[in-house]
Structure 1
Amino acid sequence: MQLIGRDAETGVLEEFLGRVRAGESHAFALVGESGAGKTALLQHIAERASGCLVVRVEGVQPEADLAFAGLYQLLTQLPVRFDQLPAAHREALRTAAGMRPGSLNWLAISLAVRHILFAASDKQPLICLVDDEQWLDHASVHVLAFTARRLGTRPVGLVFASREPSSEIAGLPFLKLNGLTDSAARALLDSTLAAPVDPAVRDRIIADAHGNPLAILDIPDEPLGGFALPLVTKDEWHLDTLPDETRRLMQVAAADFVGDPVLVWRAADKLGIAARAANPAIEAGLLELDTLVRFRHPAMRRAAYWSATLPQRQEIHQALGDVTDQRTDPDRRAWHHAHATPGPQEAIAAELERCTVRAQSRGGLSAAAAFLERAAILTPEPAQRARRLFAAAAAKHDAGARNQALELVAAALAGPLSAGERAKAEQLRDQLRTATSLMDEVRRAVEAGGNTDEVCIESVLEAWRGVEPTTADDYAKAVLYNGIGRHDAARDAALRALHTPLVITELAEAAARTGHFDLVKALPDPVGDWASGIQARIDALLTEGAQADAHHRDSITYLDRTHVRIELARAHLLYGEWLRREHRRIDARAQLRTALEIFTSMGAEAFSTRAQRELRATGETARKRTQPNHNTLTAQETQVAQLARDGLSNPEIGTRLFISPRTVQYHLRKVFAKLDITSRTQLDRVMLG
């Protein structure tokens, strides 16, 4: 298979195969957007891996909540002799599979999988390819990531393909798939056409694709810009052209997310679908039904599933649930029956809730959350529905799905909760708001610096929270150490991360604070408000007196025009620190209060603590708040609200308080939300004195 425009990437893959064949182990992540060619590159590995045992695991979005579903795929492809495993490993796998009661022993499960992979590699090198890791269940990713980091000297290779790697595999080396160059994109387009295309139309196709191979290959088979494309040589799915019974069988196969062919055949039989219905799909290379159900591409599974109408999907899930063994797999049976139910039904909701305990005991926090959410949807009684929504929100929070948790807790609060339940739900909502706010800010900061490929968002998020990053991310460590005032450690970490352009800002602060001004670097050709604001900050660190003051003010002015509030807060912090050292304590307090309030509202604990420390040094006591109080105005918000009530405009308030008009507007939005009002004219009514 020729991969146009991917010579560099295939070279890396050839090196990977050579290392494994030579008896070395290696694991890495293949990262790229949907359609970038990750599956094609995995297929390239499989085709070139002569002399190796190749096994594949596919993440499927609806299956992401079913704990250990990925490991099930893996182990069914390996020559496993469970009777030859150590007893502890054998029992750990039985517990994970739900075959015996007990709590999970993650170490034993991971070591058991590692043992199985090593045993499989005794006769020939083993290559394990994991596609769509972002949709693989968390339990399987956890175990496979543990194994990937501990392969030792065995001839075992693991490749994880993902749109955005999870935190579990973030520490592995990764190969980033960028868009194709224009010349490669044109060559790929030409390879699909059997007739010439008008140059203008050709250029538009290339421009619209943005270098994405799948977007180029998926050009419509119809006239474009007045020029017909009579023949596209690539294989297209065209599920609607298959016989009805064949398409129906593919829908059943797509709905069984574990890929059990026996279960698919039994459900098909229950639905009256004959075995011969598989032939057209198999002959066209769209579907495999042997030891495991396989679609030609993960996206085809999704296309097949959603090609069915809602009543058809409900009928399919009913059949799959009916043929699933209640004793050995009650979770999957309940899950299918829940998706077969058209409306609220307490019996099925209660069954899902009972299965939640089993799902969580097997390590599936995401599964527990999904079961509770579906149970709530199917609950007819309002109070019980609200309680289940809150339980689902808490489980989503524990599983790290903050945005989904926030939606669920909002729905729970709209229901008739008891006073105690409502207080707990409000507390969870406030925690989630803080965490989500910081995550959004970190993403904006990284994107503004153009570093989305080089930076692990989760690690940087931990750093802003004041937590030591779990991965060896030196940029994140530089952020953390600057935040807690360990500038020498921040400098050293930044010097190790010079390959990451955004680290220039961390290095500048750390180097200036430790007297190593020779290490401070300017941004290359700063363009735009964010870059200009960061450059002004760097200039302020390198100058003194009136020049430094002007640069600090410029930095705030530029960053105030952006949406990166966390960097604006940092500009206020640095200015406040400089003002304090210049013995301008009153001016310093205004800057430091603004910084503290923004940091605290976002949960940026490292920098909040630093701002508090600086405020105390000015003689003002700053009350520590680990969680923002969403009902009480802060000191700065009270000042802003009082001046706005008295008729001052935002620029006038900003001049009075030494902050920018945009920061005034930021405070007013928070004031309106806390006081449950919508305009300045209402301030006189709700504020006294």
Structure 2
Amino acid sequence: MGWEADVDRLPARADEPRSLLVLGEPGSGKTRTLRIAARRAAAQGARVLTARACPSEAREPYACLHQLLLPVRDECEALAEGERRVVQALFTPYDGLPRQRDLSSAILALLARLAKAGPVLLAVDDLQDCDRDSAAVLSFVARRLPDQAVTALFTACGDTPPPGLPADIAVRSLRPLTPKAAARLLDAQPGAPTGRARLELLRQAAGNPLAIIELSRAADRPGRIPRTVAEPLDALPEDTRRALLYAALAEPQEELATLMAALGTDDLRVWAPAETAGLVTLADDRVVFRNALTRLAALHRQPAKLRQQSCRDLAARSVHRAGYLASAAIGPDESVAAALEEAAGRGDRFTAARALERAAQLSPRASDRARRLAAALTAASDLGDPAWVRELYSALAQPGSGAAVCALSGALSLQSHQREAFDLLMGAVGLTDDAPMLLALATAIARQSGLPEHWREVERLRGVKADDVLASLNAQESSRPAQLLAAASLAHHADESDLCAEQYRQAGELLRAQGALGPLAWALPDQVDALLGLGRWAEAESLIEEGLNHAAVHHWTRVELDLQALRTTLRALRGESVPGTVFTGPDWRSVSLHENRATHARMLRACGLTALALGDAEGAFRQLRTLFADDGDPLDPFLSPRCVAELAVAAHRTGRQREAAHVLARVRHRQGDRPTARMTLLMHHAAALVDEDADPEHHFQLAVVNPEAATWPLERALARLDLARWLRRRRRPLEARAQLTVVLETAVRLGARQLAESARAELRASGVAEAPAAEHPLAELTAQQRQIVRLAAKGLSNREIGEQLFLSPRTVGSHLYNVYPKLGVSSRHQLRDLLVCEK
């Protein structure tokens, strides 16, 4: 929802805005948006009249209207004589131009006539360049559109509407592309850069579509600048162009005072022509380019000698001296390389890896070059960009160190190549002093691959259970995030979900602050797993979306599939599933699920739960049964057993109890004498449904009465629902109602709509005329919270809500985070259903 929905509704219904202004920076997609809307309107049978304002015609009266109405010139013949003469005067200016008010009224009459034959869309691009007379008429018309079949769509540059438009016109701003969308657009470009160059391009483009395309084209030809970008720059005074060069070379965090000192002036008027042209803004003691292409043009339309001198001037004044000196350097320079190496310790992982790579390039001695390349490799691995890691690894003359091998192995694993990653690690064991680190990573890869031979190899080399490897790493590792991640992983596999989620949360905060996305990539699927089990679905959804953005930017192929599967699982748990669930992604067909069994297990569970949510018990049983081999052994030793209760539910509905009981027996055997509390509860639930030799009531009670079951609210609620059904069929309705009331409360709190409907249906079947209706949850909110909820339900973003209510986006987000549990929802689009019920 948002401005896209407004565009989709043009031509609009009577109760929707009939005029819309789309704002955005150059290259943000305004023209494309207008063209898409025009094509859709034409496909729906609308008459589309288009115009694009041009700066060179801004002083010609009615130039834009002439372009807009030329296709319907002949239609004027059917107007009244006075109106016809006025409109025709647009096309015969030698007879004298019409008066503005007369022309406005005549155009309204023309539009009303056109509307009798069908919908009409007026589409005007770049309204800020429109001539003053045309703009005045269009503003008049927009305020008085004669019929709901006539709509208007305007676009304009900037973040404020051009003067003269109606104050109540609907305005939507084109936001920058999300990181995921920006990465997808870049990947679609021919010859798009990879590794460090790719990340730098995405950072520079800042989500601007045109900048992404043009910067990609310019990657091999730095001087290639679009004419529309170069011309405004070339028109500036020389001293302003020089000032823009310094701004283009400056680090993003460089202060204005430093730039002025490097320029040798304190006169801020040097920036005025660029500000007037809309090329830069001066705010918060910074010079900010409005467009990445303008920055590129300011840089490359100056000679190399001047660029070098500018870097030296900045180095003399800035605390970022090493970076500027490196940009000015031509050949090897140990002093600059050493300064870069020292500065790398003060930046985030991206900045550190970039500085260390450049330091290696400037190193005169081979030993220094190798050391700095290895450090850059580690930083790029921490950053989590596999392509950059592989580039740096290939540049190492002797890449045999444990840290280098771990970095490349981790990169291969994130891209789904588990066998290659594991073999690389095993080949390095015994050749390095980093054996504990290698074995810890091998354990993590074995958990992802799920391959028995990987587990056997890890345990053979270590002589202990694989979890002890991580425990050993935890004892030796001094990094606080690494300790937290190791503890969280152990807690996850011990089904200590609360501890797992808390440890992952703390680690995530530290890693994000450091820009260390690599370790976060390994943690995200398990962290989301834990949150789903705990019923903290809003947090899980937020992590999924964050992870999918990172996965697209850094090409974490298998992590992307994990998160897509978990997102599908979450939708199924909420009861939002749709038929034809398909896992998509740029490389998903090339992923070998055989060597990524954890990913495969998540996909099978997602498909099985989706089928259950759609009432397809047969399909659900097929998918969930595939989580186990014919003999009952699990596809994935950890994830498959945790689906045993869901398999039992599908088996119970399809009469496959015996087959599921065989799997359950195998799961019991593999869990041993001391299964986790969670597995104990799940196995009791499954036994109550499929074990013919068991007492169902006994197992149901053991699945729900244990206080530890409260840790996993949905799993407990599902067991209660099946217990209630069993009780009702044995003519014990009062006991069934008690269980169902708790199920309904849990389902509403979690936002599990289908479970709530099942509980209500069972309550009715057990003799309750209607499920108990609680007071509408909006009543619990403050007036401001109710406003925020209603605006969010309409599809407005946090920023748009904040603009209407004079709040910061962070405050809006905090309010929504706090009210979701009170409303029993976990996502924005669920609010729409809630407000429908309110009405």
With the shorter chain as reference, the TM-score category is: 0.3 to 0.5
- TM-score, with length taken from structure 2: 0.28
Query: Highest relative contact order (Cα 8 Å, sep 6+), 1 or 2?
Result: 1
Greater share of helix: 2
Structure (1 or 2) with the larger CA radius of gyration: 2
